[in-house]
Amino acid sequence: MRLIDSLCETLTRALGLLTISPWNQDTRLQQPVGPSQVQEPHQALETLFPSTKPLNSQEGGISLQYEKLPVGDPPKVILPDGPIFAPPNARPGFVCNYTAMKGWRHTAGVGMRNAWLEKPIGDEDATGGIYNIFTNYDRFAPIGTVRKYHLNVTDQVINADGIIRNDGGKVFNGQYPGPWIEACWGDWVEITVENHLQYNGTTVHWHGVRMLNAFEHDGVNAITQCPIAPGDQFTYKFRVTQYGTSWYHSHYSLQYADGLAGPITFHGPSSADYDVALEPFLFSDWSHNSAFEDYGLELRKPPVAMKTVILNGKGFYNCSNNPNPDCEALKIDPPSIFEQVFERGRKYLLRLINTSTASTFIFSIDKHILQVVAMDFVAIEPYYADSILVGIGQRYHVIVEARPSNDLIPVEDQNYWIRITGANGCFDVEPNQANEKLGIIRYNSGSTKTPTSTRYNFNTDCADEPYESLVPVVPMDVTARDRPANDIHQDTGDNFEVGIELPDENYTVPHGNFTRWDILDTPMWLNFSDPTIDHIGDYAWGTNETAMITENFSKDEWVYIIITGQGTPKQVSEGKREFLPVAHPMHLHGHDFVLLSQQTRPFHPDDLTNGTFKYDNPPRRDVALLPRNGYMAIGFRVDNPGIWILHCHIAWHASSGLALQIRENEHEIQLTPQFVKEKDRVCENWKTWFANESNWWTAHEFQEDSGI
Ligand SMILES: [Cu+2]
């Protein structure tokens, strides 16, 4: 929750900070950088990624890109190879490698975290250039290196909260959360996923990553690929054109809720200064059953409650609050709670990620103010808050100064709770298990005391961070204003209602007598063995009701999508379609969308022209909360050909069908023959595995949900 400005000023003075936005006024910068000094680097993404040479090209990688460096007179002074350096708090041994950028140097460091790479000033032969927080990363990226990762997907017992979960646990590389995937801005990433699950195929999605000209590596089951069959593997490849924090997770049915999720960091600049960056903070609701089992219960009222809340895979289930006599029998020692030692006066960068199945959370640290510097993969002008609401799939970077507001207590006694608090109405954990005290900040590493600190008195409304607080540092103005390229007239055009299908008493729909969420009138239901990628350009194929076609628009044109929780109840084949007052975290693949409007009331077409829509540098991100009983309007430039999904990130809702395919300029998609061969191989393996019913988990029919 944003602090009101006057309070903010008082606090920042109290905290000894000079300014609310130190990033553009900080006199400590050795090499001040500002918008007026930004020179356009010469590696435009268009030339790095001509559509005839997509990322998956076998000739791709450094050598191809290197040839595209401008050819000119050789410099009089031979410059050393490009910079290699360790970014703040990377894992040991990890370095950013810009060897290909001869003559450039890494300029960031404490006191100038908004910088990244530049050519030395005074080198007259250098063509000049700079990569920093003001660089238009939508168009430019530095030339990094190729990074290869390997993820093994296995079934595994997980102990996250003291109750052994031996049912349905699934992990990457034997751990939950999965291993931290790190890369640097401008790198090429190749991740090989090996599936060793017994009963499931799998696919892995790189949440929020733009996947420029690489939709075929987006990892969405039954859309961009067939599942990777047990025993098979597939290598995902993409270019890092953004920087910040995100997560990767299975996009095969409900698997991520069973443990298939892990953090991603793309190292790059920051819009405010910090001394130390900490490893990502993943928080989530948690169940003791497989999500595949809970799902059946979830679709019948009332919704199934998750068991606990966990931070970085650690929580505590309190058996004394649980009437179940089996509780003590199942109980083992919970993992030790997350702890972090702060050194007084230092500033820490925290990377927050909500990886929940069904819960929106509010992150806070008692007596510590948060300086918010990035939302999703977009750096923002810093603002201060006492807490921050993180919807499912959303991320924030926050900087915390180790200077608690009750500073009179001797340092050796200072311990503070890190809290992960459920947002009111968007939170689905057993009421007596919703322990929000999930971590401890200590000022004395030897202390073992339980904190006695109290929570800030923030409100717990289920609403995104204040719209006006979220101002991207790299501005993007929506040039289409009130004239998008597509038709958004209510009831006739691209205006999408989120509703729920409530089956009639006696009606048995083909896939169970369940309530089903959807966007438009048809819940998504995909055929795992017949993905959309095999029907590129064939818009008549599949269920038009679950696809939006944005074909023949130019890269500079804007498409808007109005998503509303309002509509007129009506009878559909399964029963009644109704509209419930539920907030949905809506996520779009393949684009950072602009959030043109987010209202707690119904949409009206006049909103485009009466000042309600914001066209000048609106918030830009990849997940936003559709307000309960309200609407949200998003827009994107039609600049990334592919098949992208727009879906609710409540896992139950996406599974039940609340998703839409955006089929964007498919005529521009070019898959290399090598990729097509590999895609088809994976699909044939899947079909062979699937055809043998003895491979299935026999307790159920195989497909129970949309597939995503
Ligand atoms: Cu939803």
- Residue 520 CA to ligand 1 center (angstroms) comes to 13
Asked if 254 and 288 sit in the same domain, the reply is: no
How many A from CA of 497 to the centre of ligand 1?
Answer: 12
342: which 2 tokens? 């702060």
Residue-wise pLDDT tens digits, 546-566: 788 888 889 989 999 999 988
Amino acid (one-letter) located at 85: F
- Does some domain include residue 332? yes
Q: How far is the CA of 149 from the centre of ligand 1 (A)?
A: 32
Ligand 1: centre distance to CA 584 (Å): 4
Residues 1, 53 within the same domain:
no
Instruction: State the distance from the centre of ligand 1 to the C-alpha of 676, rounded, in angstroms.
Output: 34
> What is the distance in A from the centroid of ligand 1 to the CA of 141?
34
Measured in Å, residue 394 CA sits from the centre of ligand 1 at 14
165, 226: one domain: yes
Ligand 1 centroid vs 258 CA: distance in angstroms?
A: 19
Alpha-carbon span 432 to 357, nearest angstrom: 19
Query: Residue 452 Cα, ligand 1 centroid: separation in angstroms?
Result: 36
Is residue 682 in some structural domain?
A: no
* 188-195 sheet: strands from edge to edge: 170-172, 146-155, 188-195, 233-239
How many residues comprise the chain?
Answer: 708
208 Cα–ligand 1 center, Å: 18
Q: What is the dihedral of CA 533, 539, 540, 545, to 10 degrees?
A: 90
Q: Which residues pair with 48 in a beta bridge?
A: none
Phi, psi of 258 (to 5 degrees): -90, 0
The CATH number of the domain holding residue 644 is 2.60.40.420
Counting Cβ atoms within 10 Å, is residue 1 exposed (0-12), middle (13-18) or buried (19+)? buried
249 Cα–ligand 1 center, Å: 18
C-alpha 517 – ligand 1 centre gap (Å): 7
Residues 121 and 97 in one domain: yes
- Flag whether 518 is in a domain: yes
Dist. CA 498 → ligand 1 center (Å): 8
CA of 659 to the centre of ligand 1 (A): 9
Beta strands of 72-200 (E only): which ranges?
Answer: 84-85, 96-97, 105-106, 115-118, 130-132, 146-155, 158-159, 164-165, 170-172, 181-184, 188-195
The type of residue at 601 is R
**Which residues are CB-neighbours of 588 under 8 A, at least 6 positions away?**
622, 634, 636, 644, 645, 646, 662
Domain assignment of residue 126, yes or no = yes
Domain count along the chain: 3
Q: How far is the CA of 495 from the centre of ligand 1 (A)?
A: 17
Query: What is the domain range of residue 261?
Result: 37-268
pLDDT score, position 302: 64
Residue 430 C-alpha to ligand 1 middle, in angstroms?
19
67 CA to middle of ligand 1, Å? 47
ipTM value of the model?
0.84
Q: Are residues 625 and 525 in the same domain?
A: yes
306 C-alpha to ligand 1 centroid (Å): 16
Cα(210) to ligand 1 centroid in Å equals: 22
User: Which of 225, 250, 268 is the last residue before a domain boundary?
Assistant: 268
Beta bridge partners of 400: 348, 370
How many Å lie between the centroid of ligand 1 and the Cα of residue 358? 9
- Residues 586, 657 within the same domain: yes
Ligand 1 centre from 582 Cα, in Å? 7
8 A C-beta contact, residue 96 and residue 131 = no
Distance 231 CA to ligand 1 centre (A): 33
191 Cβ contact partners less than 8 Å away, ≥ 6 residues apart:
148, 149, 150, 151, 181, 204, 235, 236, 237, 248
Q: Do 20 and 45 have their domain in common?
A: no
247 and 324 co-located in one domain: no
Ligand 1 centroid, distance to 463 Cα (angstroms): 14
> Do 415 and 335 fall within a single domain?
yes
Same domain, 395 and 513: no
Q: How far is the CA of 500 from the centre of ligand 1 (A)?
A: 10
Expressed in angstroms and rounded, the spacing between residue 685 Cα and the centre of ligand 1 is: 33
User: End of a domain among 408, 439, 473?
Assistant: 473
Query: What separation in Å is there between the alpha carbon of 186 and the centre of ligand 1?
Result: 33
The reply to whether 153 falls in a domain is yes
Domain end position, chosen among 253, 268, 283 = 268
Q: In what order do the strands lie in the sheet with 623-626?
A: 547-550, 659-664, 642-648, 584-588, 623-626
Nearest to 429 by CA among 315, 342, 265, 539: 315
In 10 A of CB 32, how many CB atoms? 14
The strand ranges marked E within 331-436 are 338-341, 347-354, 361-365, 370-375, 378-385, 388-390, 395-401, 415-422
Ligand 1 midpoint to CA 152 (Å): 30
**What gap in Å lies between CA 138 and CA 475, rounded to an integer?**
11
Distance CA 156, CA 86 (A): 33
Residue 680 lies in a domain: no
Q: Measured in angstroms, how far is the CA atom of residue 383 from the centroid of ligand 1?
A: 29
Low-confidence ranges of the chain (pLDDT < 70): 1-80, 120-128, 166, 300-302, 323, 325-326, 407-412, 490-494, 504-514, 543-545, 574, 698-700
Q: Is 61 exposed, middle or buried (0-12, 13-18, 19+ CB in 10 A)?
A: middle
Cα–ligand 1 centroid distance for 281 (angstroms): 23
Is residue 146 within 8 Å of residue 61, measured between CB atoms? yes
Q: Residue 679 C-alpha to ligand 1 middle, in angstroms?
A: 31
- Are 117 and 142 in contact, with CB atoms under 8 Å apart? yes
Q: Are residues 412 and 528 in the same domain?
A: no
User: Any residues with CB less than 8 A from the CB of 159 and at least 6 apart, and which?
Assistant: 165, 332, 334, 335
Residue 135 in any domain: the answer is: yes
- Ligand 1: centre distance to CA 589 (Å): 16
Q: Specify the pLDDT at position 540.
A: 86
CA of 217 to the centre of ligand 1 (A): 25
* Residue 264 shares a structural domain with residue 306: no
Q: Is residue 513 part of a domain?
A: yes
